[in-house]
Amino acid sequence: MPTMSSRLCRILALASLLVALTGHAGESTGIPYTPGLDIAAMDPSVDPCNDFYEYACGGWRKNNPIPADQSGWSVYAKLHQDNLGFLRGILESASQPSASRGESMQKIGDFYGSCMDVAGIDRAGQVPVMPVLERIAQGAKRSGWAALLAEIHLVRGSAFFRLEASQDFSDASAVITFLAAGGLGLPDRDYYIAADAHSVALRTAYVDHVTRLFSLAGESPQAAGRDALTVLRIETRLARASLTRVALRDPQKLNHRMTGAALHRLAPHFDWVAYLTERGLGDVAVVNVTEPEYLREFDRILVSEPSSVLSTYLRWHALHDASPHLSGAFRHENFAFYSKTLRGQAEEKARWKTCVAMVDRQLGDALGREFIAKAFSSEQKQATLRMTRQIEAEMRKDIESLPWMSAGTKHEAVTKLDSIVNKIGYPDRWRDYTNLDIRPGDYFGNLQRASAFEVQRHVAKIGRPLDRAEWMMTPPTVNAYYDPQMNDINFPAGVLQPPLYDAAMDDAPNYGDTGGTIGHELTHGFDDEGRQFDAKGNLRDWWSAADAKAFETRTQCIVDQYAQYVVVDDLHINSHLTIGEDAADLGGLILAYNAWKSETENKTLTSREGMTPDQRFFVGYAQWACENSRPESERLQVRTDPHSPGRYRVNGLVVNMPEFERAFACHKGDAMVRENRCRVW
């Protein structure tokens, strides 16, 4: 099972200390500097009591149109691109052969260089994917599908299902085999089922896309069209047997631990012994099947469909997985559907952006070490950790003072809070790539070997002691997350850069942005998902019945509020999908405000740039969320993203905070003043 809901967040360190450590943020790294609170990003013509998001971000939105190679543009996306540019410099240097180049630099440099060899990739055409296509075309009998699927899954394929290593829900210290749903070419199961005109049109476009890829691989137009319809039919069967994204948020619905014998009974027409043996697992004693009905449908497909249909489905997924990495015709077709049609992106990204991102994905720790050496210090790590602990102390006070929670549940909550591990910047132990073979000029081969290396590394965890020091994001990543089974919060160094990490700012915006982020991540440990896990990461109900009901009543307030917001056309936020993020946003900002007040209790605060300290706190928070999005991307977000759009991650919070109302002298009846305020934490 993948890590529970990755969490977008922003984090800063204690400003005064960082100024002393690093001087003006950005000067020492070469990453372009943007202030954490940018006056030019605001639109003072907008009444903050009417639309605070537009007041804080209107200037940014006007001055930052969406680049042609993006489906949307945001403060986060810009920092991601700035970080890519910084990493590009490292990789351009590493790709030049040199006697002084160490093994790590050789690997990241040769991988990058092979990816940038577009002429060589284009000359190869579809040759790199032909071996697996030929094995599929041989028409393996049902007894042979197991070995074939194992081969496809070894290189990160997900045809039919996915096998992963994950923590046992019942015992988080144990790593066991997980079998999860997979095998869909569209972004979500609802795309196959929904009857609205937009979904029907997308399915038609998808069939056209599959047809064109089959044609590129050598099929006649007629055969390609028939095969594309076969793919849609099989994937629709799988989609109908899949859980919705809202259901996937409930870990109880994913907890189906069973013996190997029970797995065989669940899907008896698949050779699990052969498959697991090929994956290096032999006879698995215990497995968690996250979606049993999905595997039952997989088994029914094996029985009811002829080998030719299974072959067509597997050929499509082999082409689908490979097409972004093959010659231009395949790359352009993949872009045309997945980026242009689905997300509205007008142009393909420059090749260097793709290649930097691929190195980060496949050799993230090797590239990350170079990033850390140039863009992040141990002093910065300690300063950020200090601020994290300040917010944790504030959360402890909040839990202990909650009027709706009983003493017994509070004790469990505080125990869990005290057990959270804070991972800041980079891991304590770097991944070893010694046994990974990277060759100059062999991009597809490098990609396959690197994927197999990572897949095998994950599978090797099964049955071994849990490594609680492991990170699930690479150090240059502009993102962060909370993991309820590890019970840790993770802030890579990539997100600790200006404007999200600005040592030049005063306390108010720092606590608005930084504190809000830290509080957001901490709150995830107690949102509708996280609250179901205890201090050790075990799926265990530690709530009294009355406290659980009180929690659900308070979260329902947020669900009802966000369900009213329209994203695009007539599509409203699916607030049952976004409730975890929405509740964490609100709880995090409240914690940040209280921590800021505690930190500055004995200080004399003054206005700056025409704003009071309280106003700077709220604007500092809001500006991380400045963004522009294409309608296509917004439609995709509504269906698949557990985060609300940036506008509502700002306006949806301040309407619930009387502190905001006082800061901007808002009045009852103003749009940013909500009569029945929501609050959980």
Which residues are catalytic, by number?
521, 585
CA angle in degrees (0–180, nearest 5) for 109-451-97? 15
Which amino acid belongs to residue 291? E
What is the CA 271 to chain-centroid distance, rounded?
33
| Orientation of helix 351-362 relative to helix 75-94, angle to 10° | 80
Query: Distance between CA atoms of 666 and 672, rounded to whole angstroms?
Result: 8
Place of tokens 């497909």: 301
CB-based burial, 50-59: b 16+ in 10 Å, e otherwise? ebbbbbbbbb
Place of tokens 């260089």: 113
Its sign, for the CA torsion 534, 539, 542, 543, is: positive
Query: Residue 136 is encoded by which pair of tokens?
Result: 């599929």
Mark out the alpha helices in 221-291 (DSSP H runs): 221-240, 245-248, 260-266, 272-278
Q: Are the CB atoms for 558 and 586 separated by under 8 Å?
A: yes
* DSSP 8-state symbol, 282: -
Q: Are the CB atoms for 384 and 503 separated by under 8 Å?
A: no
Q: Are the CB atoms for 532 and 553 separated by under 8 Å?
A: no
Rg (CA), the chain: 25
How buried is residue 220: exposed, middle or buried, by Cβ count under 10 Å (0-12/13-18/19+)? Answer: exposed
How buried is residue 201: exposed, middle or buried, by Cβ count under 10 Å (0-12/13-18/19+)? Answer: exposed
Q: What are phi and psi of 159, to 5 degrees?
A: -60, 130
Q: What are phi and psi of 333, to 5 degrees?
A: -70, -40
How buried is residue 299: exposed, middle or buried, by Cβ count under 10 Å (0-12/13-18/19+)? Answer: middle
Query: Residue 283 is encoded by which pair of tokens?
Result: 């006879």
Place of tokens 């994937």: 235
Q: What are phi and psi of 354, to 5 degrees?
A: -60, -45
